Structure 1
Amino acid sequence: MINVILAGHALFVLAFDYVPEGLASAISGALMVGYVSVALINFGRGRHLDVLKFALPIWGISICWIIGSLVWANDPTPFPPSMLVGVRQGSVFFMFLGILAGRSQISARLLKWILYIFIASALGHALLLPKEILNFSPRFAPFTAGLHTTGYILVILMLAAFTLHRQHEVSRNIFIVICGALIFLIIGNGVRTPILFLIIIVGLQVFRDDRNRLGVSPYLYIVAGFVLAAFTAFFVFGDVNELSQFSSGRIPNYAERLTRIYQRGVPTFLFGTGPGTDLLRTGIWWWDYKDSHSDILKYIWESGLFGALVVAGWFYLGSSYKRGNLFAPFAALALTSCISNALLVRPNAIFLFFAVICYSLAMKELSEEKAKALQRELG
């Protein structure tokens, strides 16, 4: 059943820009029900019952959103709480629950077809449609849901290609062609945060140190030190306006929003104001209502301190699952969620990310089971 849901979600992604908003919401809801059904079926058969703990953050976030929506009347924002936004954001957690529970049934053939069809669609849009302008630079036309979502899907396709090649599902020559096409598309897309996401996840995976339970190599501490030194030099010796421009205005926006959060009343500070309420006019983005431009800050605004702690708990559960086998993808997800509208608010991109990392985990578990069976036979 998980493969039917994933195939349906892939088709929805391809058609997303052409589907009316009401129908898109209905399809998103149906997909969420499908993912929940996959989890319940597997739990009913006694499979992967340890995944049940990932339901706790769903309850926690839901409670915070309900209380926050009630609190909103006493501390209103320009936009009221939205159930549709809540369902859309909450679907991400249901997706992971279902895909992780059904990971052993994920088909490599399906992932290959998604890989090929998405690349073909992206190339078609890039080569045949007019370019879009972002930050005064021309970019390839996105094939679904805008430049940023397309950018994240492209880097996830790179991870999918590598995973399938490592499992001998994609030949070396095809893998090289796929990588060439994806590099061309990623450069043409030009959105920075998906590229940073790819660098983080690959860096953590490649330089993982087995002696460290968290898998953080000393190399990464060196890189982090250089990055911190560069930002410090920017603040001390450079122009703050230059740093603001480099971050596309995010840093002043974060500072203003954090100040507003600190000034809230106790109930609002603890539980937020509900989903969909973080659209504001700030000093740096005065001309229009903008969201937080940070998934973590968005959850702090909408679900309060308690909601942010619940999301942090979800990251911890994911990164420590199965002796930290998912640490690298969850660390990359957490870091990019701090600095941008990353995958947590992009259900049509994160479903594929979850499918790839859960398929990889399932293949590793299968390999370990075969090795143990062989040892029993020999010994």
Structure 2
Amino acid sequence: MMVNLDDFRQAAQRVLPRFVYDYVAGGADDELCLQRNRSDLESMTLMPRSLRDTTAASTHIQVFGRTWSAPFGVAPVGLIDVVRPQGDKLAARAAGKAGLPYILSTASNSCLEEVRQATDGPCWMQLYVMQDRSMADTILARAREAGFEALVLTVDVPVGGYREKDLRHGFKLPFRPGPRVLLDMALHPNWLRRQAWAGAPQFVNLVPAGGAGSAQAQAALLSRTMDRALVWEDLNWLRSKWDGPVLIKGVLHPEDARLALHAGVDGLIVSNHGGRQLDVAPSSMAVLPSILDVVQSRLPVFVDSGFRRGSDVAKALALGAQGVFMGRPVAYGLAQGGEQGVAQVLDLVRQELLRAMILLGANRPETLADCLPVPMRG
């Protein structure tokens, strides 16, 4: 019986080979940033308000003219087919049925057109800009034609983080597993059977037709060999290719939030890439208030990294975030039960959030701001 998201994590750990689980759950270097994401969330408290009418409490919000059933959604997860084949389509379908947004990664293993067709919910396209910018041009054109509603430019990956667990497993493309990893794969027959039937995951959106990309391009994407010359002025190039909302993902410094405002972006996602990039980076929640102070409600600010409960979502909303994105919990649900597992994860978070709101005396997400702790006087 799955009663919280950690149950799904433990189930994923049982059903996935070690190298796959570590790829999903692991972080960079000593995984200190990964730990800070959780410890900073856990240390924050909210103050319940009494005798408030919550009979009509609702988690719905409006974002860019679309209604979300709750103020959270699915963060982009690259190479998700190592968890379960067709992972993006299964997860996007579950999110759409739940009335929640889905962000598709450039490193998806499903054609972006097929993922967009799989969901009626809000669907955004995440973009990595690699050294060959023509790939980005192609992805932008295809995403616009397919009906993706917003573009999410990830800016915190000029190089790949040093993920020691992946290195120890030899997890890179082309993947050539050693005897130990082969044995581990054999000990997970259900996972192995699905993967053998589907074939090795490919970064299928690296070529216009959505076929298998070159080995060089796939290796570059997995190792995060990005365009390190990309600067704020290049947002003009993106604007010339995309006429919908543009969000920047990976902002942690208040001055970068200020630059984003000047550049005319439509939204921010405060993120440290789930602790997978820079181990000395602060938690997303630690810097969220300073980012919000700069933005002053002039554009929506979202946050990700470390969220594992509906009450975690409530904490971010109380500070002023528009919403939260989650990646790992969705991957755990996918590992445990496919589309149904993702649906259960999303429903569990929504139920937890609604319960927390009612207990806090908040009938709308925006009223959670009333529940911030009052500083004690000395």
Name the TM tier (shorter chain).
under 0.3
* TM-score normalized with structure 2 length: 0.27
Larger relative contact order, structure 1 or 2 (CA cutoff 8 Å, min sep 6): 2
Bigger Rg, structure 1 or 2: 1
Higher helix share: 1
Higher strand share: 2
